[in-house]
Amino acid sequence: MDQLRIVFRTDANQQIGTGHFMRCLTLADEIRRSTADIWFVARELPMYLQQMLIEHGVRYLALPKPDTTTQSIDELAHASWLQTSQAIDAEQTLAALGEGSWNWLVVDHYALDHRYEKLLRKVCKHVMVIDDLADRVHDCDVLLDQNYYQDQDQRYLGKVPSHCRMLLGAKFALLRPEFKAMREKVKARTGKVKNILVFFGGVDADNLTGQVLEVIINLKLDVHVDVVIGQQHPQKETIQKLCTQHNYTCHVQTNRMADLMAQADLAIGAGGTTVWERFCLGLPSVCFAAASNQVHQLQDLQLAGLLFSPIHYEDPITFLFSYLKNLGTGFKLLHEQSERVMKLVDGRGASKVATVLRAKSLHVRLAEAQDASAIFQWRNHQLIKDHSGNNQEISWDEHRQWFEQRLKNGDPILIGELDEDPVGVVRFDISNHQATVSVYLVPESGFNGWGGALLIQSESWLRKHHPRVATLHAQVLPNNEPSKKLFAKLNYTLTANQPKFEFVKNVEACL
């Protein structure tokens, strides 16, 4: 089997922080669950992040150190983040990638736009962009903006191609698996605030952590405080000393974020991806914009009552002092906020995005006469029979007659392929305005986890070629847990569970 080959272009340093890198790694981990060849391309990536890539089975390609004698010629607001021009960066990226082609280029960098993306299409079949600024034009097939904005549907008008698949909103937030797992164990917060979590990202160049600790110390709050900082924090030793003096717990570069958030009653931190981690676990929060790109995000979340944040003209530390001073009167508001934010983020964003990338990589085609033998072998494989309504061996004559009749009647049998390797089969039995769907992956092919992608592409084919079909129906045996999860994941509604599980979906429902 040909693996998906995906290259990520992102950076992480004192200026940029680690948020872009971490959300890319989260997506890379999710994609690798179903076998993929993943590479990261970055410039001067810190050694501890390089080590992290090695531990996650991701390969790293280092771009050359910037030439300080040349200046960026691009006009983008964050052009300095690239430390060179887009044209030079593209040239260096192509040189680093060398021979061969890639299924996807994933770009998560505020200093790159359509000029870079177009040049990389020489070796990349598809381009995905992760953005939340909406301040530049992109040449991409998928755009992910996992943030919450009041004008979400309008922000990228005229900035992406007409064919671009838009993944907008916190339901696509790229969260590590431990947050989804921990979500099953937590409930909406009630009662007094006994534990506060302070975390301002992996870098925190302005030492907001230290400023917040001074407020908590001066107020003499009767709470336990967990403080999380990164290895690169500019005041690491000072913060560790403060925590020791006041019996707070300082965690440096911890891998226990989900656990710490689950234990906390209130978080104080920055905007960005960490907001969605808190929301997933129902953790109320006070947030400050640690970077200019977080201002709009936090303002809209504050207006929606989803977190507490100073409005643009307020001093954040003064706001925090006032808020914490009156903390004892806000139990009801914290409980309401906790319930609301849990409904906004379910922790499955990375899985949803990975499914879209797999689906875009797949080609589905109608089965032809020469496919009869292969489908016969797949259908009679024990793994397929175990989950089939008819678990008996099918004879060749029986299969041949059935197959020829379907082709003659035009009843669609679709085969999904990745670079000509068969992934799976989808069959639609159409009657008037509805169709019954059955799906299976080619057994022992290595395409485990591709069922969602296969079904998405097949549904798209059906909408195009049979637009009169309004609803899809699926029947699943009670012991077929993978299929039950698959249909539920793709917005099929369970309508009955005896003697078989019955799922129904409106074909207009989206992922």
| 233 shares its domain with 324 | yes
| 169 shares its domain with 296 | no
Q: Which of 509, 501, 394 is nearest to 459 (CA)?
A: 509
Domain boundary among 314, 344, 374: 344
**Structure confidence by residue, pLDDT tens digits, 410-463:** 999 999 999 889 999 999 999 999 999 999 999 998 888 899 999 999 999 999
Coil vs helix vs strand at 166: strand
The whole-angstrom separation of Cα 312 and Cα 379 is 62
Q: How many domains does the chain have?
A: 3
Print the domain residue range for 215. 178-344
| 252 shares its domain with 299 | yes
Query: pTM for the complete prediction?
Result: 0.85
% of the chain at pLDDT higher than 70: 97
Give Cα separations from 484 to 177, 195, 236, 345, 442 (angstroms): 20, 39, 48, 22, 18
Q: In this structure, what DSSP letter does residue 170 have?
A: G
Average pLDDT, rounded, for the chain: 93
Mean pLDDT of 463-471: 95
357 occurs within a structural domain: no
Question: What are the backbone dihedrals phi and psi of residue 251, each rounded to the nearest 5 degrees, phi first?
Answer: -115, 120
pLDDT at 448: 87
pLDDT higher than threshold 50 for residue 1: no
Q: Are 77 and 110 in contact (CB under 8 A)?
A: yes
- Read out DSSP for 67-133? -TTS------TTGGGGSS-HHHHHHHHHHHH-SS-EEEEEE--TT--HHHHHHHTTTEEEEEEE-S-
Q: What is the CATH number of the domain that holds 402?
A: 3.40.630.30
| 33 shares its domain with 148 | yes
- Read out DSSP for 408-432? HHT--EEEEEETTEEEEEEEEEEET
